[in-house]
Amino acid sequence: MQHEKTNAAAYWKANLRLITGCMFVWALVSYGFGIIFRPLLSGISIGGTDLGFWFAQQGSILTFIVLIFFYAWRMNRLDKKFGLEE
């Protein structure tokens, strides 16, 4: 019983660490590059527009999609590590 509790606690801790990391990347790209650091990125051109605008319009969406697949891939690995795979 105690082993199951420590295993569940370790699984939850790893899950929260993964979620926190994904949220940090999402916030950095969405708010950081798209809003806060946009003036610093305005001199860099990509696709005919400045990099800050690109992150605000496209980069944050693409990053979010990549994070979804990354999260699913990492959770599958965590499930296998803790013996919870389907």
Q: Residue 15: helix, strand or coil by DSSP?
A: helix
pTM given for the model: 0.81
pLDDT, tens only, 16-45: 999 999 999 999 988 888 888 888 888 888
**Token couple for 8:** 């569940």
Q: Inform me whether the pLDDT recorded for 65 exceeds 90.
A: yes
Q: Compute how many other C-beta atoms are within 10 angstroms of the C-beta atom of residue 82.
A: 15
Nearest alpha-carbon partner for 81 in 2, 23, 21, 15? 15
Of 62, 61, 40, the residue nearest 51 (C-alpha) = 40
SS3 (DSSP) at 37: coil
